Amino acid sequence: MRGFIIAVLAIALGIVFLRQKHNETPAPAGEKPAAVASVRATPAPLTPAPRGQASEYNYMKRALDRARDVTEQSRARTQGAQDAQP
């Protein structure tokens, strides 16, 4: 029964794919697609962010920076508490 459902789903996906391919409009013969340009621009070299300033989308670096900040704050608080004792 499970195999039958998988087979029906695979056939349905194949039919949807073929219909979609069949309904596509062909590109004009004289024009090149925009993705294939004759002159390709070279991207600017990537520069790393300064320490502690990760980009909004670099969640892994931001998490590591935040963990380091919390660790340093905790050490400073512990050191301050030990210095305050007579």
What string of DSSP letters covers 39-76? SPPPPPPP-PPPTT---TT-HHHHHHHHHHHHHHHHHH
Indicate the residue type of 55: S
Higher pLDDT, 84 or 49: 84
Residue 38: its pLDDT value, please? 55
Residue 51: its pLDDT value, please? 66
Task: Convert the pLDDT of each residue in 6-50 to its tens digit.
Answer: 999 999 999 999 998 888 776 666 655 555 555 567 777 777 666
> Can you tell me the distance from the alpha carbon of 41 to that of 4, in angstroms, rounded to the nearest whole number?
50
Residue 61: its pLDDT value, please? 83
